[in-house]
Amino acid sequence: MIDIAQDTAGSAIGGRVKGIPSGVHTTDEARKRLKKRYSMEARFKAYGIGAIAMAATFLVLLLFTIVGTGLPAFTYNYVSVPLNLSSEKVDPANPAGASYNKIIRDGLKAELPFASDRKNRRVLYSLVSSGANVILQKQVVADTSMLGGTGPVAIPLSDFADLYVKGLITQKNEITTTSAATVSGTEGQVTITAEKPEFGALIAALKSYYENEVTLLSDKIEARGRSEVSVNTKITGLETRLKSEKDPLVVQRLTAEVESNREALEKIKSTLETRKAELAVLQGHLANIENGGTLNNKMPSFFVNVNGGTIKAEKVTPTSVSGTAFIPLSSDAAVAAGQWGVEELETPESFRKFSDKEIAYTDYLVSKGTIENQWNSIFFKSGASREPEMAGIWGAAVGSFWTMLVTLSLSFPIGVAAAIYLEEFAPKNRWTHLIEVNINNLAAVPSIVFGLLGLAVFLNVFGLPRSAPVVGGMVLALMTLPTIIIASRAALQAVPPSIREAALGVGASRLQAVFHHVLPLAMPGILTGTIIGMAQALGETAPLLMIGMVAFIVDIPANPVDPSTVLPVQIFMWADFPEPAFQQKTSAAIMVLLGFLISMNAIAIVLRKRFERRW
Amino acid sequence: MALEMTTDTESAMDTTISAPPAVSAEGETLKMRGRDVKVFYGDKQALHGVDLDVRKNQVTALIGPSGCGKSTFLRCLNRMNDTIDICRVEGDILLDNDDVYDPRIDVVELRARVGMVFQKPNPFPKSIFENVAYGPRIHGLAQSKADLEEIVASSLQRAGLFEEVKDRLDEPGTGLSGGQQQRLCIARAIAVSPEVILMDEPCSALDPIATAKVEELIDELRQNYTIVIVTHSMQQAARVSQRTAFFHLGTLVEEGLTNDIFTNPKDQRTQDYITGRFG
Amino acid sequence: MFWTYAALLLLVFVAANVYGRFRALQVAGHQLSVLHSRPTYHGGYLAILSTLPAFVLLIAWAVVEPRMLDMMVISANAEVIEGLSKPELQAFLRDARAIAFGGIVAFSDAGKEQAAEVFASLAQTSFVLKSVLMVGLVLGGLWYGNRAIRPTMRARHFVERTVMGLLILCSAVAIFTTIGIVLSLIFESLMFFRQIPILDFVFGTHWSPQSAFEGAGAEHGEANTKIFGAIPLLVGTMLITAIAIIVAAPIGLLSAIYLSDYASTPVRAIAKPVLEILAGIPTVVYGFFAALTVAPFIRGWGESIGLSVSSESALAAGLVMGIMIIPFVSSLSDDVINAVPQSLRDGSAGLGATKSETIRRVVLPAALPGIVSALILAISRAIGETMIVVMAAGLAANMTVNPLEAVTTVTVQIVTLLVGDQEFDSAKTLAAFALGLLLFCITLALNIFALRVVKKYREQYD
């Protein structure tokens, strides 16, 4: 490889290396190189720190997102209304048979007497959970002392009302006013006239809306204009070709093409006309905007709160607003400065599923102090439901419990027994080598393949029930087995041979030596491995989907063969539901699951720390 | 941090380089000087104030029973102890006139000037060529590929290995015999052109023939390099070194011409050790 | 029923144990020294002898009985059953069982009533037979064991051999699992390949099993063979895996390097748990994170720079999957980097190399085989990962390498094909098993290869 002439003079063993002067490391040049090398070093170190920081950022981001969305779901808002539970409404002999729906509706009607026509009443009823009657029924049946009179009962709000109260539907901004105002009436269409121009914010919103519309429309018009030009060019081109073309067939085709292009051109022109007219209208509005205009539901909504009532702004001028009074005013007296205010709901009505009227009614209930935020016991006590406010994790948690019970009772004894055999007794031959290779490979088999095994063998060959924790437990046991075996073997290996020799030396059999002396010493390590394996199993989803644990099951499973689902699968199912309230539920369920996992891992770490023994 | 350090170092060095080298009573140049060197591993003190000079172009052997601190002292000379977290060094160690533990001294430059050969041959899992080329490459000593090849060939020649390996330079260094591996490590060290070479029991893992070759090499290297060697074997110390220092329980008991130490030790402990009463 | 018997056997086990001890003491005349084995072992001997055969019978009965009953009912009601298709037959049996043993009956007719009667009487016979056999086995065991107990009897050897047999059986479970996986996958896949030629599956470029039974041939359940091409799924899987590795490899590797060679103890005390927590988060959580946060973010980012991004882009799924396998890469790399002997690091430092030079030029090249195999294991993990892609990747089998488009993966399709109601023999369901086989083979090959490399590499420094 090296092709250098042997230099006779300097080839002596022990001489100085040719080509490098002595003192080369203290020259300026060397120092310069060193500087470069150190900046390289610093860069490399920074990459390392960057990598760690990135991993940490991901974790923080993930936890932050989950906790941020999930935390509100741990509490729920209830409206506390006096309900008539006297004997004429509820038969004390048969409390379950009463029409609780009506009782609740009557109670609500009494709270908001002004919501009297059918439309308003429907809005009002939609504020409470559609499952409220069932909950009330259960409450009454469980506690009959509630019967026999009228007393305040807390009723869960609907999911959207709850989200609104938690501030998750729209941002609300208070706009303070500085002058006195007069109102034109207390009900229906009401106009508020302020002494000074107070409604700049509304006009600004109107203006930005129109400006936006104008830009959009102008862009459209421009695009249409461009296509008009291009179609025109095309037609001209076609006509030129037509003039020089002789072949009658081609002429026919080209003529047809020109014809269709002309039609298209006409269409474009007419749309352009309408668009331009629309634009003119919009620009007219915009030019006149300082004098006010009409608000619509594609822009932020505004409420004027005056004299205990709420008016939704529909028309605005700099000094006056008129609109429907959602909540009637207590009087039409003039109000002093600072005694009335304007409220902005940032999300436009058409972009949310909770209407302005619902917001006004909810705000009214809030202002009356009837809404209370309670610990969300429904979430922890109930099973699955299509209604977000009725859905809970208890069913899934119990399912997880049964599944883990089956997994543990199978994988722990089998895993420990296998580890003992392989570590303590197995001869070193091909058979045991095969088992070892097998275990290592099983540890890396994708979990979903275990699900396929469960489906094909446990369900279809053995005919075990679908969706049952017992099957899920068996599949997960097979999946965690390698983890437990590997951890147990490591724990057994860590027990020094002197212990075994001591036991054998006093005449114990090998089995006795292992079961009486080695196994107890290895137990902390084995338990640590088992807990980690169980934590893995608890978070596992994919194989359980295969054996049907993804079913929608309302009942709480009472034993390991009842159909049920488990926490991670519940999370998976909820994550797919479109209702925004389910997003919170999903995150909250994840928090519960992570809570379990973290405490399991913490126990494992404590166990390892406490019983760690150095030999 | 490292960046600021180098600029400071330059000025520090500029002032010191011009100073005349320290000289011993006999008129020999002192390449390295240790003054009151104390080393602690955590709470345990491994060296209790050692004063030892290393003379230029001589082989200084450090002998003593196991755990006496001779390796610890050796590793102080090029700050290899830095890699051990709990290790702390006090006192002064001077290379020419620079204190190697001065915070402004750059450890990378120090180690380039004070190379090291370890107890167990530790060739990198690369080819023989790459092993030797490693140092010149990282220090940027070669301007071109031809330069590099010349340095590698020359280093292998100086280490007395070239004839044995010239046909298989691209084979892995780990495939050589133990003695060859150790000479490869020496070649690797001299390819950087150090001023001092530290050897930590370089022959303890070798058979007698390989040992003889390495010892021969050490003797040859002396003309151009200052060598400090830790050894377990008193015969080896007698064979290769000009001066010998005897360590016991973390202190330097006695230092002097190798002949004097072995024939006429001043201290009873040295006497006991070289006559084999303990060790 | 099963559990009652199991509980009874447990009772017998305890009782026989106690009696065996007593009996051993009795035959030894209460002189322990004359016994070969301690009384405990005599107790165990008797307990095993009396309950183990009965227990094996109980399990075998539980596995075989339903099958036998079904077959006998079918043969007894041949004229009613004639002409029923397979799912109808299953429904028939299910209803008949429900009538006979209680349960929810879909609808009842004379044929089912008749079958239910057969069911009930057969079950009765089976029950009696089982009970008689079990009692016989228990009594026989007790009688034999009781006779065999005498001072010279090597009860301990018997007990220990039984325990050893159990241990061996347990360690063979791993083998049985593998055999079970391989057999079930191959068996179902063969049924699939009987309907769809294997070449159409492996090399086909069109995948749309949902349209399998539309159009002509739907009547006979004959699937169009050209819609089961696995190539688009593999391309999608590879695309997402590649994105994941591009994210995880540098971050994981650099973290491992930093933690093993640079980090101070307090930094390590914080960074290690961070990675461990990342490793411990269930994949369904990552999936939710991908769908809820990352996908909309990428979409919004793409739109802001004028790119059209699918809401189920491969990028989102790949990115989150990359985050998931960071700890996997870093812990495996950490192992191999730490396995590089300190002497090599010292040798490099002794020549005046900086830390990063040592790492880049000595440690990493020395650890390269191990790092490569760590990455291969990570790839295998990413290929087999299910929940992230199910939740964040799409269903449309696009053949594209554009990370902003939606792709689908092998695991997504397995889940889609098998979740929900299914007929077990349809090509659609069986296709999932063929995909499972494909997945198993790919990951197995990667794992074996990677483990080999690791093993060789470990030997190098041992």
pLDDT reading at B4 higher than 60: no
What share of chain B in percent tops pLDDT 90? 30
Least confident of A608-612, C313-317, C440-444: A608-612
Q: Are A263 and A396 within one domain?
A: no
For A228, counting Cβ atoms within 10 Å of its Cβ (0-12 exposed, 13-18 middle, 19+ buried), the class is middle
Q: Collect all residues with Cβ–Cβ distance below 8 Å to A470 and sequence separation of at least 6.
A: A402, A406, A464, A560, A561
The pLDDT-based confidence of C461 (bands split at 50, 70, 90) is low
Q: What is the mean pLDDT of residues B57-64?
A: 92
pLDDT reading at A368 higher than 80: yes
Domain count, chain C: 2
Closest chain C CA to residue A476: C177
pLDDT score for B16: 44
CA distance A151 to C424: 57
Q: Are A398 and A260 within one domain?
A: no
The pLDDT mean for chain A works out to: 87
CA distance C62 to C64: 6
Decide if A243 is inside a domain: yes
CA distance B155 to B186: 9
**Nearest 5°: phi and psi at C377?**
-60, -40
Q: What is the mean pLDDT of residues B77-90?
A: 85
pLDDT score for B25: 75
The pLDDT mean for chain C works out to: 86
Least confident of A101-110, A124-133, B52-61, C68-77: C68-77
pLDDT reading at C220 higher than 60: no
pLDDT score for C458: 65
Decide if A12 is inside a domain: no
Per residue in C163-212, pLDDT (tens digit) is 999 999 998 898 899 999 999 999 989 988 988 888 888 888 888 877 65
Cβ within 8 Å, pair A13-B2? no
Top CATH class of B2-274 equals alpha beta
User: Chain C partners of A462 at a C-beta cutoff of 8 Å?
Assistant: 63
What share of chain C in percent tops pLDDT 70? 93
Q: What is the mean pLDDT of residues B107-118?
A: 90
pLDDT reading at A12 higher than 80: no
For residues B144 and C92, the model is more confident at B144
CA distance C320 to C284: 11
Tell me, letter by letter, the H, E, C secondary structure of B195-252.
Answer: CEEEEECCCCCCCHHHHHHHHHHHHHHCCCCEEEEECCCHHHHHHHCCEEEEEECCEE
The 8 Å CB, 24+ separation contacts for A282-286 are A282/A210, A282/A213, A282/A214, A282/A217, A283/A214, A285/A210, A286/A207, A286/A210, A286/A211, A286/A214
Residue A438 domain boundaries: 388-611
Contact C344/B121 with Cβ under 8 angstroms? no
Q: What is the mean pLDDT of residues C222-226?
A: 62
CA distance C204 to C227: 8
Q: Is C411 on the interface with A (CB under 8 A)?
A: yes
Decide if C311 is inside a domain: yes
**Nearest 5°: phi and psi at B35?**
-130, 115
The pLDDT-based confidence of C425 (bands split at 50, 70, 90) is low
CA distance A73 to A62: 17
CA dihedral A418, A422, A424, A425 (to 10 degrees): 100
User: Chain A partners of B140 at a C-beta cutoff of 8 Å?
Assistant: 30, 33
Q: Are C448 and C319 within one domain?
A: yes
Domain count, chain A: 3
Contact C388/C353 with Cβ under 8 angstroms? no
Per residue in A216-275, pLDDT (tens digit) is 888 888 888 888 899 889 889 888 888 888 888 888 888 888 889 899 889 989 988 998
Type of residue at C29:
G
Q: C94, C122, C153: which is the final residue of a domain?
A: C153
* CA C123 remoteness from chain centre: 34
The pLDDT-based confidence of A519 (bands split at 50, 70, 90) is very high
Closest chain B CA to residue A28: B10
Least confident of A297-301, C87-91, C219-223: C219-223
Decide if A493 is inside a domain: yes
Q: Which two tokens stand for residue A36?
A: 């470069």
For residues C226 and C243, the model is more confident at C243
pLDDT reading at C242 higher than 70: yes
CA distance B265 to B261: 5
Per residue in C9-45, pLDDT (tens digit) is 999 999 999 998 888 888 888 787 888 888 888 888 9
Radius of gyration of chain B (CA): 19
Decide if C196 is inside a domain: no
Q: What is the crossing angle of helices C342-350 and B178-190, to 10°? A: 40
CA distance A81 to A155: 8
Q: Which two tokens stand for residue A534?
A: 């169980």
pLDDT score for C254: 95
* CA B208 remoteness from chain centre: 21
Decide if C219 is inside a domain: no
The whole-angstrom distance between A480's CA and the closest CA on chain C is 11
Per residue in A412-447, pLDDT (tens digit) is 999 999 999 999 888 888 888 888 888 988 988 999
Q: Are C147 and C292 within one domain?
A: no
* CA C259 remoteness from chain centre: 33
pLDDT reading at C2 higher than 60: yes
Instruction: Identify from B108, B157, B240 which residue to disrupt to test chain A contact, counting A C-beta atoms within 10 A and taking the largest count.
Output: B157
- Give which of C236, C36, C1 is closest to C154, Cα–Cα: C36
Read off the CATH number of the domain in which C440 is found. Answer: 1.10.3720.10
Residue C77 domain boundaries: 2-153
Q: Are C149 and C267 within one domain?
A: no
pLDDT score for A10: 45
pLDDT reading at B67 higher than 90: no
User: Chain A partners of C250 at a C-beta cutoff of 8 Å?
Assistant: 51
Per residue in B183-216, pLDDT (tens digit) is 999 999 989 889 999 999 998 888 888 899 889 8
Contact C270/C400 with Cβ under 8 angstroms? no
Instruction: Identify from B5, B79, B80, B83 which residue to disrupt to test chain C contact, counting C C-beta atoms within 10 A and taking the largest count.
Output: B83
User: Chain C partners of B113 at a C-beta cutoff of 8 Å?
Assistant: 352
Q: C95, C129, C153: which is the final residue of a domain?
A: C153
Q: A232, A261, A293: which is the final residue of a domain?
A: A293
Q: Is A54 on the interface with C (CB under 8 A)?
A: yes
Q: A246, A276, A293: which is the final residue of a domain?
A: A293
pLDDT score for A24: 77
Q: Are C138 and C231 within one domain?
A: no
The pLDDT-based confidence of B15 (bands split at 50, 70, 90) is very low
Q: Collect all residues with Cβ–Cβ distance below 8 Å to A338 and sequence separation of at least 6.
A: A176, A177, A178
Radius of gyration of chain C (CA): 31
Q: C118, C134, C153: which is the final residue of a domain?
A: C153
Decide if C407 is inside a domain: yes
pLDDT score for A332: 83
For B:123-152, CB contacts with C below 8 A are 123-126, 134-135, 137-139
Decide if C173 is inside a domain: no
The pLDDT-based confidence of B174 (bands split at 50, 70, 90) is confident
Radius of gyration of chain A (CA): 38
Strands (E), A125-216: 150-156, 172-176, 181-183, 189-194
